[in-house]
Amino acid sequence: MTHIDPPGGHSRPAVPSEAAAALSRCVSVEPAKFAAAHWGRTPLLSRADELPNRAGFTDLLSPADADELLSRRGLRSPFLRIAKDGQLVPAARFTGGGGAGAEIADQVLDERVLELYAGGATLVLQGLHRTWPALIDFTRELGTAVGQPLQVNAYLTPAGNQGFATHYDTHDVFVLQVDGRKHWRIHPPVLPDPLERQTWGGRADEVAATADGPAALDVVLAPGDALYLPRGWLHSAQAQESSSLHLTVGVRALTRYTMVEELLALAAEDQRLRATLPFGTDVSDPDAIEPELTETVEALRDWLLRADPAAVAARLRQRAWPAARPAPIRPLAQAAALAALDADTRLAPRPGLRWRLSPRGDQVALVLFDRTITLPALCAPAVHALLGAESVRVGDLPGLDDDTDRLTLARRLLREAVLIPA
């Protein structure tokens, strides 16, 4: 479902029932309580008997599914990483040529994966939100609920082994225990809310010292349990008496610093901030740069007070929308629908599609995650109807004179993968 603003406004996904259901699979509290008490603040442990799906998470990715990915899907690096003794194994040790008809050198070789896994290495299946159907859908729905781009990895760890030493991530995570049991030790951050470039390696000594202290949370996750960790919280995990499979859903945080970066990019429009420093300035001398620094700060302050929220939003949209793709389409089925299109055809918006419709003189611009489609202004009511409802009959589209115009618009939006057959 989608919120619709008046013509010339914009649209963004609401939180439909599917998105709410995806979030409820990950947290045992109401969304409002999760947002207020835990989101970006504190960990949350949710036991299987507190979550709605008592069957756990095997429908998203089971051990058999993981085996299929490793052996029958032509997986390539870097969609698989392998860790042993806290270090990444070079990809050359488990990849090679794909054989006749697949002359590439980085396909995953199942024999070498077996050797490493049997020797205690952890397998990390990466980017599953792009490669595994159940997780493609789940990630899209959960991403709608939290309003942030997501990624999904799976961790397969042999019994008694640990993939990585204590560390922190620069993104929030939902940990979903699929199979086996894993012992987690969680410690408070050494750097709260780290940015993506502020990785734990630069604070290894602080991380090690904190990890030697008492844990904030010391738990064993069993199948069906879930754990939310804000970015920056230290953690380590070790498989118990049997092998373990868990999913990590990473939330690629959009932060206030993200807004700062975009504001600074826009500040290049201000001539005062583009001015050259005085001739001969010794930039290494604090006294020499002090007056220039004062004037620069004053100019920046003046510019920030005039900053245009619409310009900032446009830049944030360019960063955020491509990071969360809409639902996949079926090219062959889509082409068949194009060929069979008539006034009685019912069409639906592509699930998860982000869009904005803006007037441009005698035209309207339909802004999508990867491109902009320009249409005659008279198409605006029909576009709103098509993207604002669960499905619409082509012959019922408003604002156009006849079925020829309606079919022309519907055909264009089907071809552009904005719509799908209902």
Q: What is the pLDDT of residue 104?
A: 85
Contact indicator for 226, 174 with CB cutoff of 8 Å: yes
Q: What is the pLDDT of residue 15?
A: 62
Q: What is the pLDDT of residue 9?
A: 38
Q: Has this prediction a pTM greater than 0.75?
A: yes
Q: Give dist(CA 295, CA 273) in Å, integer.
A: 9
For each of the chain's 422 residues, which pLDDT tens digit applies?
333 333 333 444 446 788 999 999 999 999 999 999 999 999 999 999 999 988 899 999 999 999 999 999 999 989 999 999 888 999 999 999 888 887 788 999 999 999 999 999 999 999 999 999 999 999 999 999 998 999 999 999 999 988 788 999 999 999 999 999 999 999 999 999 999 999 998 899 999 999 999 999 999 999 999 999 999 999 999 999 999 999 999 998 889 999 999 999 999 999 999 999 999 999 999 999 999 999 999 999 999 999 999 999 999 999 999 988 899 999 999 999 999 999 999 999 999 999 999 999 999 999 999 999 999 999 999 999 999 999 999 999 999 999 999 999 999 999 999 999 99
CA distances from 294 to 156, 290, 300 (A): 55, 6, 10
Q: What is the pLDDT of residue 297?
A: 96
What pLDDT digit, counting tens, does each position of 127-148 carry?
Answer: 999 999 999 999 999 999 998 9
Q: What is the pLDDT of residue 99?
A: 83
Write a three-state SS string for the chain: CECCCCCCCEECECCCHHHHHHHHCCCCCCHHHHHHHCCCCCCEEECHHHCCCCCCCCCCCCHHHHHHHHHHCCCECCCEEEEECCEECCHHHCEECCCCCCCCCCEECHHHHHHHHHCCCEEEECCHHHHCHHHHHHHHHHHHHHCCCEEEEEEEECCCCECCCCECCCCEEEEEEEECCEEEEEECCCCCCCCCCCCHHHHHHHHHHHHCCCCCEEEEECCCCEEEECCCCEEEEEECCCCEEEEEEEECCCCHHHHHHHHHHHHHHCHHHHCCCCCCCCCCCHHHHHHHHHHHHHHHHHHHHCCCHHHHHHHHHHHHHHHCCCCCCCHHHHHHHHHHCCCCCEEEECCCCCEEEEEECCEEEEECCCCEEEEEHHHHHHHHHHHCCCCEEHHHCCCCCCHHHHHHHHHHHHHCCCEEEC
Q: What is the pLDDT of residue 6?
A: 34
